Amino acid sequence: MKFCCQNMLSDTLNGRIIFYKNKLEVIIKYYPRDRQYNMMYNNTDGYQILFCPFCGKYLGESLSDEWWATLEKEYNITDPIVDDREKVPPEFWTDEWWKKRGL
């Protein structure tokens, strides 16, 4: 994966601690399925971030809504998380689904 700046390296993502400041633990996590970055503070669920906290570059919108819409349109799956989970093609649990569609 290519990152926007030297500070946004893959070893700083996916649950690794970025920095401590006044006992505030900040973690950046990347979700390939949704192409989404979240910043978590002190073990919160996290908040989507649209700009790199290091260089300010736009990171792009999440594809979460598109994920849901594509599953419904192409596979008639309305609840991929609970009821229809077993019907979801494996590619939809990774970034493969949006890469194949050129998103």
- Note the pLDDT of residue 11: 53
pTM for this predicted structure:
0.77
- Note the pLDDT of residue 26: 76
Taking the domains of the chain in order of start, what are their residue ranges? 1-61, 64-100
pLDDT(46) > 90: no
- Note the pLDDT of residue 15: 55
Residue 2 one-letter amino acid: K
Q: Rounded mean pLDDT of the chain?
A: 84
pLDDT category at 35 given cuts 50, 70, 90 is very high
Distance, in Å, from the CA atom of 91 to the CA atom of 4, rounded to the nearest integer, reads: 26
The pLDDT > 70 percentage for the chain reads 83
Distance, in Å, from the CA atom of 60 to the CA atom of 80, rounded to the nearest integer, reads: 24
- How many C-beta neighbours within 10 Å does residue 69 have? 11
Distance, in Å, from the CA atom of 87 to the CA atom of 29, rounded to the nearest integer, reads: 27
User: Strands, DSSP E only, in the chain?
Assistant: 17-21, 24-31, 36-41, 47-49
